[in-house]
Amino acid sequence: MGTLLIVGQQGGTNVGASLLRAAERLRLTCHFVDVHAAAAAPRWSRFVNWRLGGHRPARLNTCSRLIVETCRRLRPRWVLATGLVPLNADALAALGRMGICRLNYLTDDPWNPTLRARWSLAALRQYDRVFSVRRANLGDLVEHGCRRVTYLPFGFDRDLFFPERPDQADAGRLASDVLFVGGADRERVPFITALAQAGLKVAVYGDYWSRYPETRACHRGYGDIATLRKATSQARVNLCLVRRANRDGQVMRSYEAAAIGACMLVEDTAEHRELFGANGEAVVYFQTIDEMLMRLRQLLDAPEERARLGTAVQCRIASGGHTYDDRLQSMLRVAA
């Protein structure tokens, strides 16, 4: 079938690592370039390049050359880059001259002001196919000059996300009325603040929540994957917020919490409705903070309904072709 080279990051919930596991399960001949290791640099260098160099990764050119040299040696049929990895336009052009099909699974919004960079926008034009996880990017990518653009949403890694109850010693520590997992984007803070002020037991895992006095008390740190699985199962309700700066219609957590069988209170978007169906079918939707609080209290008072929703959403996601095995197969099928 041909060799696949994945360019991404290992560890945690990184999509590149999930796609590598998917490739191994599909018995593909696959190699991996870990750009985190390849582009490692002192902290001051990373800061200067990112802040003063127009969001330029440290060692962008070094990492790009490494990928070109790896391709000369392995001669893969496909190179699959996950997101805005440090692979510049010149390197991608060189891969094209080798006859390699260049794919990008675009997990971030390249027009997000915190990510936008000339080097990455130039690189995007070189890919033979860009798969975007958000519909909001599709028109931008076509107008930008990308050759072929396809919508392909996030998925979940079945090795990482599945139902898991904590033992008795951890059950109380991980329990909550409402759980949120994700970073402290500025537009998310008012939602978590409202929950904390409502007298609920709120648990938040993710970066930067301790920076805000109003959310500091409910911040439980970053949380490894096993902890997140157990905390998700122990939460009476799991809150799902999109990233508005990224123009998201769904996020990784949309799939991961569903795969665990959580009762989900989900921000109302067209992509979420496409994924989960009508309100109350598998999840409950909200649009405003007041509606979030109202729907949450209804769910907290209805344990049987919470159990029904958790079962319904897990069945919908687990049987709906939403694993990263499915996503990888879709990309290679379209590329062929």
Q: What is the pLDDT of residue 42?
A: 65
Q: Output 245 or 34, whichever has higher pLDDT.
A: 34
Nearest to 180 by CA among 265, 304, 281: 265
Nearest to 60 by CA among 50, 75, 71, 70: 50
The rounded percent of the chain whose pLDDT value lies above 70 is: 93
Q: How confident is the model at residue 60 (pLDDT cuts 50, 70, 90)?
A: confident
pLDDT tens by residue, 217-264: 999 998 999 999 999 999 999 999 999 888 999 999 999 999 999 999
Contact, 19 vs 324, CB < 8 A?
yes
Chain centroid offset of residue 46 CA: 23
310 C-beta neighbours (distance < 10 Å), count = 24
Average model confidence (pLDDT) across the chain: 92
pLDDT tens by residue, 169-210: 888 899 999 999 999 999 999 999 999 999 999 999 999 999
Nearest to 274 by CA among 254, 247, 253: 254
Q: What is the pLDDT of residue 52?
A: 45
Residue 55 has pLDDT above 70, yes or no: no
Nearest to 41 by CA among 21, 56, 59, 19: 59
- Pairing verdict, β 101-106 and 202-205: unpaired
Q: What is the mean predicted confidence (pLDDT) over 63-77?
A: 95
Nearest to 132 by CA among 100, 124, 76: 124
Q: What is the mean predicted confidence (pLDDT) over 293-309?
A: 98
Q: What is the mean predicted confidence (pLDDT) over 141-159?
A: 96
Nearest to 158 by CA among 335, 336, 320: 320
pLDDT tens by residue, 99-149: 999 999 999 999 988 888 899 999 999 999 999 999 999 999 999 999 899
Q: What is the pLDDT of residue 171?
A: 87
Domains of the chain: 3-152 (3.40.50.2000), 168-318 (3.40.50.2000)
